[in-house]
Structure 1
Amino acid sequence: MKTNGIQKISQLFKQLHEINNEHIQLWTEYVLFTWQWWLGLGLTIIPWIVWVIYRKKDSTLRLLSAGFFMMFIASWLDSLGIQLGFWEYHYEVIPFIPAFIPWDLSLIPVMTMVVLQIKPHVSRYIKGFLFALIAAYAAEPFFIWVGLYNPFTWEHIYSLPIFFILYIVSHLLCYGKSYQPL
C-alpha cells in the first residue's frame, strides 16, 4: 500500500503531465514558427555547421570532449535554474526540454570549442575571463533584449564565475595529457 507521501508525489506527477500537455498546446499555437522560434532554430544549427567547416580537423575529438562537457553542464545548470525559479525561457525550439537548446547544446559548446582552438598559447585564464565576460555580459543581455530569456532573480555577475570555471575545466579536458594512443 502506498504511503501518504508517495500518493502526493503521484498526484504531482499527474499534475505535471497535465501542465506539460497544456504547455505543448500553447507552444504549438503561440511559439512554433514565430521569428523567435526560427532564430532559436538557426542558433541551434548554424554554429555547428560553421564549426564543422572551420574547426581544427586533427583536434576534433579533443574539442568535442570539451564541447560535450559544456553541453552536459550547461543543460544541467540551465534546468536547475529554471526549476529553482531563477529564470525562464520563451520561444523554446522544442517544448519538451526545460532549457534553451540553442544556448545549451549549440552556442555554449561551440563558442567554447572555438575559443579553445584560437590562439592556444594564450593563458587559459585570460581566455576564460574573456569567454565568461562575453557569455555573461553580451550573450545573456542579447537573449533578454530579443525576448527569449527572462531572468527573475539572476544577475549577469552570477554567471561570470560559473562560465569562467566551466571554461577552465573545458580547457583542461581539451589540453590534458589523457589523449594517448590506445
Structure 2
Amino acid sequence: MHPTWQEVQELTQQFRNIKTEYWLSENVFTLSWWILSVTSLCLLIVWIIILDKKRIMEIITYGFFVGTIAILADIAGFWLGLWQYPITITPLHLPIEIHRLQMPIIYMLFYQYFKTWKAFTIAAMVNAFVFSFLLEPLLVWLQIYEPYHWKYTYSFIAYFVIAIVMKWLINKFKHMDQNYQ
C-alpha cells in the first residue's frame, strides 16, 4: 500500500500534537530544560559582550556556516535514526539550542581568538574532544540527547572537520574579496 499525501499530513499533525503534549508534560521546566535555557541565554549574552565588533561580519559569517552545517547534519542524523533530542527548549521538531545557538557561538569564539592556523587547529581539536567526549555524554546523562547508531568518535571527527573546513572557506572568501577590491 502506498501512503497518500493526506495520510502523511495527518501523521505529521498527529506527531506535532503528541510532541507538544510530551514537551508540555515531560520536558518544560525540568532540570535539563533549565540547564539548556540558562546555558543558551548566558552564552548568547557573553558572546554579544565579547564579540569583536571590528570583525563582526567575518565572525558571524563563520558562525552561520557552522550553524548551517550543524542543522543539515542534525536533520540527516534525525532522519536516519542516528539520534534524538528528548529534552528541548521549545517543542519544535529539531532543537534550536545546541547546534543552532550554542555550537555556532562557541565556534565563533574560537574563530575570533585563535587567528593562526596552528592555534586554531589545536583549539578545534580540544573543542572537538570536549564536545564529543565530555559534553555529549553529559547531554546523554541529562536525557537531552540520545544517540542510537552513533559513536562519540564520529562526533569528534565531525566537530573537528566542521571547524577546519569552515575556517578554510572563510579564508578563501576573504582572499577573494581582497582580490576583487
Q: With structure 2 as the length reference, what TM-score do the two structures score?
A: 0.87
Name the stretch that deviates more: 107-116 or 33-42.
Answer: 33-42
Cα displacement string for residues 39-58 of structure 1 (whole angstroms, at most 9, x for unaligned residues): 11123222111011112221
CA distance in 2, matches of 1:43, 1:13: 35
Say yes or no: does 1:119 pair with 2:129.
no
Unpaired runs of 5+ residues, structure 1, are none
Q: In 1, are the aligned partners of 2:85 and 2:145 still within 8 Å (CA)?
A: yes
For the pair 1:139 / 2:135, whether they are aligned, the reply is: yes
Match of 2:89 in 1: 93
Aligned mate of 1:154, from 142, 150, 156: 150
8 A Cα contact 2:67 2:100, kept in partner: yes
The answer for the alignment partner of 1:12 in structure 2 is 8
- Give the 3-state SS of the residue equivalent to 2:4 in structure 1: helix
> Cα 1:173–1:101, aligned 2, differ >3 Å: closer, same or farther?
same
Q: Is the 8 A contact 2:36 2:97 kept in 1?
A: yes
Counterparts of 1:76 and 1:119 in 2: how far apart (Å)? 26
SS at match of 2:84: strand
Contact residue 66 and residue 170 of structure 1 kept, 8 A: yes
Amino acid across the alignment from 1:86 = L
Q: Deviation per CA, 1:129-174, whole angstroms, max 9, x where unpaired?
A: 2222222112211211222111111100111221111101221244
Identity of aligned residues (%): 24
Asked whether 1:52 is paired with 2:55, we answer no
Q: What SS does the aligned partner of 1:101 have?
A: coil
Secondary structure at the counterpart of residue 147 of structure 1: coil
Aligned residue among 37, 40, 60 for 2:36: 40
Q: Is the 8 A contact 2:62 2:167 kept in 1?
A: yes
Equivalent residue for 1:72, pick from 68, 73, 96: 68
How many angstroms apart in 2 are the aligned matches of 1:85 and 1:169?
Answer: 26
User: Matched residues in 1 for 2:62 and 2:56: separation?
Assistant: 10
Q: Partner letter of residue 40 of structure 1?
A: L
Aligned to 1:171: 167
* 1:43-95 Cα distance to aligned partner (Å, 9 max, x none): 32221110111122211111100111111111221122112111111221111
Whole-angstrom distance in 2 between the partners of 1:142 and 1:55: 27
- State how many pairs are aligned: 177
| 8 A Cα contact 2:114 2:123, kept in partner | no
Could you tell me how far apart the structure 2 residues matched to 1:93 and 1:178 are?
A: 39
RMSD of aligned residue pairs (Cα, Å):
2.0
Unaligned 5+ residue runs, structure 2? none
Question: 1:62 aligns to what?
Answer: 58
Higher mean C-alpha deviation, range 74-83 or range 124-133: 124-133
Aligned amino acid, residue 77 of structure 2: G
Which secondary structure does the structure 2 equivalent of 1:154 belong to?
coil
